[in-house]
């Protein structure tokens, strides 16, 4: 049977459909599609284990962690805000999860606190975010952030500190340098003292925003996106250990992948169904949910004046420690080194078509045999050792024997009687 037209409609989260306008006397094919949810996962390394505070970057990773899981904190926040910028009709729901280790009550609270911390920062309520961090932080959180500041801001010359939970002199010295820099940025009196204060977290939030604005485009652009307040109501929930993605039937199972925060983007027709924690479970996570979940890639966001290049092997492992050179059309040259994630960043660039090189790899001998392997170098030449001549001390030799041993006309050799005379 042929149809004169096709109408595609999408189910709502509750399974209902809006009325479909049809014409009598017409043959119409109606294609029913499931509701779709876009999800951005806050990487499991964005938090320390059993901690609630969103870290700006990955501190330490096992060697076998693939590239996408190495992106955390600020990069995820930038990806979320850019997605909302491209889809202003959507609303954001923040959902926290844990693994199944520990009590259900503790895990419920931990997941809620993580979701709240992410929500407060994304929404731009830095005073509330700082108060939440002050209440829930551990020393390792502060040390990790200090190291991120050291690696990110060239004008803040604090030395890296060990992430060991010890508030020793190195940590206090680095923190005071950051305090002074934050006070200078905001024009307030610097503060001091060997006690972590809420002002420290406000300063950290200010630096988070500085890095985030660089990825969004500008501080003004960041303010515009946050002023839209594109959150559902409730804006965040914690579901504890009820919806693990790895080994869902196993209790007391320690899993980094199950310790996560989901950023869920909903269309206007869908977020009206999200009214409480129960509706989040029913329409988003329940086994019989109609929703089709689509995970969003984070990618490698760059500033408008920045170029970010990731280099990896065929196996997806990052190439680290290699110097990279970027040459602009006017001859300007910038150099950067591939970091632990295999990424080199060049900043302060005009719009242009630039040339990217890695000189140390270009100097490598890449001549390969048909199997694609680099030929082995030829072994070095070893000079032969000259043997000392040993004089012959045996019986007289015949002329035939002399010719075999190539003795020639050796003056020291007596003539041989060949027995003929």
Whether residues 93 and 238 fall in one domain: yes
Q: What is the pLDDT of residue 44?
A: 60
Separation CA 70–CA 341 (nearest Å): 7
Sign of the Cα pseudo-torsion (236, 239, 243, 244, in order): positive
Residue 189 lies in a domain: no
CATH label of the domain that carries residue 122: 3.30.1330.60
**Burial of 15 per CB tally in 10 Å (0-12, 13-18, 19+):** exposed
pLDDT digits (tens, 9 = 90+) for 346-403: 877 776 778 899 988 765 544 544 444 444 344 445 455 454 455 555 556 555 555 5
Whether residues 224 and 322 fall in one domain: no
Q: Hey, which bits of 131-181 come out as E strands?
A: none
Q: What is the pLDDT of residue 3?
A: 61
Q: What is the pLDDT of residue 75?
A: 86
Q: What is the pLDDT of residue 171?
A: 95
Residue 142 lies in a domain: no
Q: What is the DSSP string of 305-339?
A: T-EEEE-B-TTSPBP-S-EEEEE-TTS-EEEEE--
| Counted domains in the chain | 3
Whether residues 218 and 348 fall in one domain: no
**Within a 10 A sphere around the Cβ of 48, how many other Cβ atoms?**
16
Top-ranked range on mean pLDDT: pick from 115-124, 227-236, 409-418: 115-124
Please, what is the angle between helix 139-152 and helix 169-186, to 10°? 60
Separation CA 16–CA 139 (nearest Å): 50
pLDDT digits (tens, 9 = 90+) for 49-97: 788 999 997 554 444 444 444 456 888 898 899 889 889 999 999 999 9
Instruction: Quote the mean pLDDT of the chain.
Output: 81
Whether residues 267 and 278 fall in one domain: yes
pLDDT digits (tens, 9 = 90+) for 276-304: 999 999 999 998 899 988 888 765 443 44
Whether residues 212 and 93 fall in one domain: yes
Given pLDDT bands bounded at 50, 70 and 90, which one contains residue 145? very high
Q: Which domain holds residue 254?
A: 36-137+196-295
Say if pTM beats, i.e. exceeds, 0.85: no
* Better-scored residue on pLDDT, 86 or 122: 122
Residue 384 lies in a domain: no
Whether residues 223 and 262 fall in one domain: yes
Whether residues 291 and 330 fall in one domain: no
């Amino acid at each position: 049977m042929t149809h004169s037209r096709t109408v595609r409609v999408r189910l709502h989260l509750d399974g209902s459909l809006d009325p479909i306008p049809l014409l009598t006397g017409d043959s119409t094919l109606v294609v029913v599609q499931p509701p779709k949810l876009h999800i951005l996962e806050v990487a499991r390394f964005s938090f320390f284990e059993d901690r609630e505070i969103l870290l700006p970057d990955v501190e330490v990773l096992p060697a076998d962690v693939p590239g996408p899981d190495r992106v955390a904190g600020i990069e995820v926040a930038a990806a979320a805000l850019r997605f909302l910028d491209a889809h202003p009709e959507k609303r954001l729901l923040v959902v926290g999860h844990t693994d199944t280790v520990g009590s259900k009550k503790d895990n419920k609270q931990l997941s809620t606190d993580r979701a709240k911390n992410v929500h407060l920062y994304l929404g731009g309520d830095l005073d509330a975010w700082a108060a939440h961090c002050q209440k829930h932080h551990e020393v390792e959180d502060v040390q990790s952030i200090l190291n991120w500041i050291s690696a990110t801001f060239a004008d803040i010359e604090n030395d890296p500190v060990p992430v060991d939970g010890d508030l020793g002199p190195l940590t206090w010295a680095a923190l005071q340098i950051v305090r002074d820099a934050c006070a200078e940025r905001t024009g307030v009196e610097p503060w001091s003292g060997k006690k972590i204060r809420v002002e420290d977290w406000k300063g950290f939030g200010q630096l988070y925003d500085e890095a985030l604005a660089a990825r969004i485009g500008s501080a003004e652009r960041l303010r515009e996106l946050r002023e839209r307040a594109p959150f559902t109501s409730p804006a965040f929930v914690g579901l504890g250990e009820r919806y693990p993605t790895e080994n869902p039937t196993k209790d007391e199972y320690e899993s980094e992948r199950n310790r996560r925060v989901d950023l869920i983007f909903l269309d206007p027709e869908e977020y009206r169904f999200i009214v409480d924690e129960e509706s989040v479970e029913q329409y988003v996570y329940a086994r019989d949910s109609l929703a089709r979940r689509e995970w969003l890639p984070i990618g490698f966001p760059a500033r408008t004046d920045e170029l970010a290049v990731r280099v990896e092997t065929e196996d997806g492992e990052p190439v680290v420690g290699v110097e990279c050179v970027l040459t602009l059309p006017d001859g300007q040259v910038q150099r950067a080194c591939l970091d632990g994630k295999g990424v080199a960043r060049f900043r302060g660039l005009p719009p242009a078509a630039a040339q990217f090189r890695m000189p140390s790899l270009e100097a490598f001998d890449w001549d390969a045999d048909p199997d694609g392997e680099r030929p082995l170098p030829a072994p070095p030449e070893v000079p032969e050792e000259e043997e000392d001549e040993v004089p012959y001390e045996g019986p007289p030799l015949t002329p035939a024997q002399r010719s075999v041993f190539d003795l020639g006309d050796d003056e020291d050799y007596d003539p041989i009687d060949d027995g003929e005379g």
